[in-house]
Amino acid sequence: MSIILIGMNHKTAPVNTRERLSISCKDNDALKVIKSISQVREAMYIATCNRVEVLASVEDVEKGLEKLKTFIFSHGNLSREEMKECLYVYRDVDAVRHLFRVASSLDSLVMGEPQILGQVKDAYRHSVEQKASGIILNKLLHRTFHVAKRIRTETGIANNAVSVSFAAVELAKKIFGYLHDKTALLIGAGEMSELAARHLLNNDVNRIIFANRTYENAVRLANDFHGVPVGFDLLEDKLKEVDIVISSTGAPGYIVTEEMIVKALHRHKNRLMFIIDIAVPRDVDPAVEEIDNVYLYNIDNLQEIVDENLRSRVEEAEKAEAIISEEIINFTNWLNTLEVVPTIVSLKKKSEKVIEWELEKSLSWTRNLTEEEREKIRILASSIVNKILHDPITSLKEESQNSGADPYVAAIIRLFRLEEDD
């Protein structure tokens, strides 16, 4: 039995290719089709916007691999050229390593992001529900979740912000300490504002005001994030209510001026205001930085933070790779022992039969014993046999971890005549 992982991701395939396969793989029948391949014993697929992968334990690796390729080719409406350019294949240890790296976000577009682990868990849950997983994938996926947790707790791979919007919110937290009593104003309705809103809500900000030149877009974001929409005509008034301003528009000139901030702070002499200007060209007059109690950062300031954090994550990734290497050894040791399990089971079954035979032969002198006394004799006999078999079974498991158990298995089958029992 071998483990195969076949797929494509953001590194190997353009988005239009991934889209086709991702949409088709969301079909609930896809896993049934994979499982129906005669060489496939267990299977799971992961379909996200950045990757589509099939994980399977298979018999007859070459035939199983070709049929899985055919499935992806036909199900994703891919050309042979696309498959050749985009598809990657990992086997056994390499497949395990890749899965560990994926779940730990080492293979993600943004290293350290937490979403992929949830997506892997969802894929495994679906595999279990479809009865497509078994002893190998169950063990592998639970080990995968353990590895991801170790990397999260033992490294700092997810500690630092690596997107501009995330860095902006993290910076606000450093300045204020906490955000649960703060009001934020997001100017603009683009992707940056959406990401910033999501991060602000994740940090329990009290209220978000959305301002946009097109009022309908402000309403859309406010509905999505339970905020308050306003038009640009109310921007100056709303500055008086907020603690955090994050601006990202395509305006050609300054939207927030020095005079507007001075007026906003006039009523509260000791109030702090944190302003992030993500726009290029800038939305906020640089003169605002000279106002007391105002912290102004622009896109270049944040990019420096992001770049430094990315370097930090790369360093932490080296620690994560060491954890993965250690856990691969643990899993492969367990996997190798599966090869000797049938022999161990047969050996124990034969010993149990011998005990039962001998106990039946002894009925003439045990008939006068109580049931409790006969049970004690049975337990004693089993204990003696188990102790005799303990060392051979332990040695067999140890040899299996180095893939050297075949001659020992053959010897045990012959010495104990296990093939006759089969």
Q: How far is CA 307 from CA 211, 240, 263, 312, in A?
A: 29, 33, 35, 9
Phi-psi group of 342: left, alpha or beta (phi > 0 → left; psi -120 to 50 → alpha; rest → beta): alpha
Is residue 49 annotated as part of the catalytic site, yes or no? yes
DSSP letters for 145-200? HHHHHHHHHHS-TTSS--SHHHHHHHHHHHHHS--TT-EEEEE--SHHHHHHHHHH
The angle subtended at Cα 246 by Cα 243 and Cα 248, nearest 5°, is 160
Q: Which of 15, 26, 32, 49 is catalytic?
A: 49
Using CA atoms, how far apart are residues 409 and 280, in angstroms rounded to an integer? Answer: 70
Neighbours of 293 (CB within 10 A): 13
Using CA atoms, how far apart are residues 211 and 228, in angstroms rounded to an integer? Answer: 9
Using CA atoms, how far apart are residues 377 and 368, in angstroms rounded to an integer? Answer: 13
Using CA atoms, how far apart are residues 388 and 350, in angstroms rounded to an integer? Answer: 13
Backbone φ and ψ for 331, nearest 5 degrees, come out as -70, -45
User: The sheet that has 207-212: what strands, in order across it?
Assistant: 228-231, 207-212, 183-187, 244-247, 273-277, 294-298
- Amino acid at residue number 305: I
DSSP 284: B
Residues noted as catalytic: 49
